[in-house]
Amino acid sequence: MASNQTAPTAQDGSAPHRFDPNFTDSVINAMGPKTDPRLRVVMTSLIRHLHDFTREVELTVDEWLAGVKFINLIGQTTTPTRNEAHRMSDILGLESLVDEIAHKHVNESGEEPTSSSILGPFWSPNAPFRENGGSIIVNPNPNGQPALMHGIITDLDTKKPIAGAVIDIWQASANGRYDFQDPENQTPNNLRGKFRTNEKGEYHFYCYKPTAYSLPTDGAAGELFKALDRHPMRPAHIHLMMTAEGYKPVTTQIYPRDDPYVTNDTVFAVKDDLLIDFTPREGDPNAKLDLEYNVRLAPREGKTAPMEGPRPPTPYTNPNPLKMRLPYAPSQPPTPSSEPIYTRIAARRAPRPLIPLDLTLLHNPVVADGWNTFIGAIRTQTSLSADLKELAIARVAVLNGAVHEWDVHAALALKAGISREGLQTVFTAPAYGPGSTIPVPVPKQGEEKGGLTGVQRAVLTYTDQMTRNVAVEDSVMEGVKKFLGDKEVVELTATVAAYNMLCRHQPRATVVQAKRHASTKHPKNFVPPTQADLDELRESVREFTRREIPEELAQKTDRLNEFPNEMWQKFGEAGFLGITADEGFGGLGMGYQAHCVVMEEISRASGSIGLSYAAHSQLCVNQLMLNGSPEQKAKYLPGLISGEHVGALAMSEHSAGSDVVSMKMTAKEVDGGYVLNGTKMWITNGPDAHTIIVYAKTQPDAASKGITAFIVETGAAKGFSVAQKLDKLGMRGSNTGELVFEDVFVPKENVLGELNRGVRVLMEGLDLERLVLSAGPLGLMQASLDTVLPYTHQRKQFGHPIAHNQLVQGKLADMYTKYRASSAFTYAIARAVDESATSQATVRTQDCAGAILYAAERASEVAADAVQLMGGMGYMNEVPVGRILRDAKLYEIGAGTSEVRRMVIGRAFNKEFVER
């Protein structure tokens, strides 16, 4: 990589570390979802304290290595070929942190020398000097990709070349092993060597393009990987050590930009300006690839210095000083800058009226038994007045559906002094939950309303909010504290929490109406289409596909793995891109039956073109239609519906596919908007999209309640890039990519839906996404029948068409029946959704998930039968059935796997029959 090719820089001049600014949090967040919850708490604390200590004392490389050796001596964990303590240190991010502390330098103009990175445990002092232009490849590997690496080493300040500088290189072979790990295939110092620059500061030698490899998982480090549910992969890299007399040395690793693990290196060593590009090399018999890597060294006596103190606040950095938070937590802050921390701690130590009860513990039977004893005690042994206590208990019973106990609660409440009118209010009043549209009452002393006094109404509201979300708004708390002292508030809290748990432990099956009305899913003034309307639309789409997506184009799209981008404008002109959108934005406003018709017929012509169509029209356009503000719709929908712009949705990540809530991508609030950092994987239309709906964590510790949806304009998004276009088994030509967001600024007006309510935005369209996508497999089944029916009636064996063979007839009958059954399922659900706009019927999650589950699996079976019926011809790429089979498999994986769909259906039943 040439010296003028630099990564985006922070305001302080530093290149953003790929795992910075919140390096410690990145190490902690690398723990996978299968990590034991208690272990997660322990390791989070351990890593944070370890990193704080390292920063506070500015731990040196020598001190850190002394610690590594000491641990090895204690446990005898090291071997001649494996430094286990070193590996465990890497897994905890310690070596990268020590390296950053030791080598962070800038000069007067704010420039940096070539970035350092970790040494790693594989350096050898015995590597030989080799002639410039030589090769470090001593034992060629059949899978190795030879490359000529060259560049210039220059002075950071003067920019002049440095003659006689030494560049020491070592790397693993193409099998992922270093020389001493692989004595059967490599002699000592294979892929190792030292070179000196000439008078122009130039060096050049032959090496391999590196290969990614896994750290061993059979030792202590392996157990740590397993416990933390982390992958052991290191991205491909070349180790370098650059030295010159009078200059500060640099030890680093460089990484091919196209390696899939550069974004989640298991030892956290990748930095943006260490990413390199290999390019084709022509006319060189010794190398197929070319790598230019220029190096800048900082003079030892030059005007450079370690970066000290906290970095200035930037989109990349944490404004808080990187010091230990509180060594002993004294009562007074030692410095003004640490005062906010001490204020928070003082607030935690102060007497609190709310007791944060961990109700999940009460699912343990032993704890529950003790809790029941406690329940009896608080009913009789509190200073809270009997009327307030019994009112709260009765209200908890109502809110938990324990109506069969009402006779008992009502009698006790009446005896305690609650009026009959007040009991009617307790029984019928809507709940004052957080976010409720019902205004919170402001009770007054002596006031009576609905049969309840002011204090009783305050307790009712408090009980509602405690029961609904174990959280109480400030105004409600202040209302209670007008009447009750701190001790009484604590007793009230305990009473409400205790009886909530008691009610929730009583087994009773109650069907709850958790379904959603579908009327909000349609454009204004929507009228469900008639069957005649749908038939006319289907014929129109068929005519379009016959003309615009002939079999030759479908084959070419698959073979070249390239989407025919002229198709977007043709789709727009035909009106297919806004099937569910308001006519005011250029849409047709025809609903989901119509959308399924278009999706089926396009997929019948080409599965991959159909998939890209759905990603645009359903995942992007329909999401904007459902959740966008009027301003957002006016800005983005016209261009998307006309086909001028391409749309996509970015949700999945390397480690967050079906478990989308575990996404790592973050959105940090800054002036005027948010800065997005992270990657998205398997994004359909990602390489081509102009407008992408992106999900990111605005509150990383809040799980599903900390995700927000954003509208990202890729053309204006500095820091946005496509890391790679993916080479898939099927759906080739439906361009799919890995998207990289490096400090991408998104204005606050581009938040889609509510802040931290991105999961709601996602779920708003998820059922409908499953429904519309289920029409894709229908088109593939149609395409299979289109090919195999004529073939089996023309192909003769033993003097007769093979379609006259009963075994063949049976397969054809099964194929047709599977298609018709799947079609009936999908269109029945689509019709119900459309008609719900006027009938107030509901969208059932299990129906939408069931439609795509059934259609996807049947499509794979039908396509496989088509290949089988066509015999040898079916196995040839000249006919489409092989492509159809590869395309069909995607629908069992994408948009939620078949296994997840089954789980979704099962959970939907569980929601309908809730055990209380």
Q: Name the residues annotated as catalytic.
A: 769
CB atoms within 10 A of CB 404: 10
Per the CB < 8 A criterion, the answer to whether 102 and 301 are in contact is no
Between vectors from CA 444 to CA 443 and to CA 448, what angle results, nearest 5°? Answer: 80
Does 770 show up as a binding residue in the annotation?
yes
Kindly state the DSSP code that residue 903 receives in the 8-state scheme. Answer: H
Does 652 show up as a binding residue in the annotation?
yes
Per the CB < 8 A criterion, the answer to whether 359 and 502 are in contact is no
Does 896 show up as a binding residue in the annotation?
yes
Per the CB < 8 A criterion, the answer to whether 574 and 567 are in contact is no
Does 872 show up as a binding residue in the annotation?
yes
Query: What Rg, from alpha-carbon coordinates, does the chain have?
Result: 33
The set of residues, in sequence order, having a beta carbon less than 8 Å from that of 503 and lying 6+ positions away, is: 396, 397, 400, 401, 402, 916
The alpha carbon of 342 is separated from its chain's Cα centroid by a whole number of angstroms, namely 34
Does 96 show up as a binding residue in the annotation?
no
Does 608 show up as a binding residue in the annotation?
no
User: What are the angstrom distances between the C-alpha of 330 and each of 169, 336, 337, 348, 753?
Assistant: 50, 14, 15, 14, 44
- What's the CA gap between 579 and 566, in Å, rounded? 19
Does 158 show up as a binding residue in the annotation?
no
Place of tokens 């407008």: 691
Does 475 show up as a binding residue in the annotation?
no
- What's the CA gap between 849 and 902, in Å, rounded? 8
Sequence-distant contacts of 794-799: CB under 8 A, at least 24 apart:
795/870
Per the CB < 8 A criterion, the answer to whether 410 and 391 are in contact is no
Does 60 show up as a binding residue in the annotation?
no
Per the CB < 8 A criterion, the answer to whether 887 and 731 are in contact is yes
User: Amino acid letter at 871?
Assistant: G
Q: Which residues pair with 297 in a beta bridge?
A: 155
The set of residues, in sequence order, having a beta carbon less than 8 Å from that of 807 and lying 6+ positions away, is: none
Cis before 638? omega within 30: no
Does 656 show up as a binding residue in the annotation?
yes
- What's the CA gap between 599 and 769, in Å, rounded? 12
Q: Among 529, 405, 617, which residue's Cα sits nearest to residue 838?
A: 529
At residue 871, φ and ψ (nearest 5 deg) are 60, -135
Does 704 show up as a binding residue in the annotation?
yes
User: Amino acid letter at 278?
Assistant: F
User: Amino acid letter at 663?
Assistant: M
Does 338 show up as a binding residue in the annotation?
no
Does 885 show up as a binding residue in the annotation?
no
H or E, element range at 632: helix 630-642
DSSP 459-497: HHHHHHHHHHHS---HHHHHHHHTT--HHHHHHHHHHHH
Does 263 show up as a binding residue in the annotation?
no
Helix axes 474-481, 454-469, angle to 10 degrees: 140
Does 124 show up as a binding residue in the annotation?
no
User: What are the helix (H) ranges across 774-805?
Assistant: 775-794
- What's the CA gap between 496 and 394, in Å, rounded? 10
- What's the CA gap between 579 and 593, in Å, rounded? 10
| Strand 146-155 with 295-297, pairing | parallel
Does 655 show up as a binding residue in the annotation?
yes
Does 797 show up as a binding residue in the annotation?
no
Does 395 show up as a binding residue in the annotation?
no
- What's the CA gap between 90 and 667, in Å, rounded? 27
Does 308 show up as a binding residue in the annotation?
no
Does 477 show up as a binding residue in the annotation?
no
Does 658 show up as a binding residue in the annotation?
yes
Does 654 show up as a binding residue in the annotation?
yes
- What's the CA gap between 46 and 54, in Å, rounded? 12
Does 164 show up as a binding residue in the annotation?
no
Does 197 show up as a binding residue in the annotation?
no
| Structure tokens belonging to residue 436 | 């409720």
The alpha carbon of 266 is separated from its chain's Cα centroid by a whole number of angstroms, namely 18
Kindly state the DSSP code that residue 679 receives in the 8-state scheme. Answer: E
Does 734 show up as a binding residue in the annotation?
no
Cα distance from N-terminal residue to C-terminal residue, the chain: 63
| Structure tokens belonging to residue 226 | 């397993």
Does 324 show up as a binding residue in the annotation?
no
Does 89 show up as a binding residue in the annotation?
no
**Annotated binding-site residue numbers:** 649-658, 682-684, 704-705, 767-770, 795, 806, 868-872, 895-899
**Annotated binding-site residue numbers for substrate:** 658, 704-705, 767-770, 895-896
**Annotated binding-site residue numbers for FAD:** 649-658, 682-684, 795, 806, 868-872, 897-899
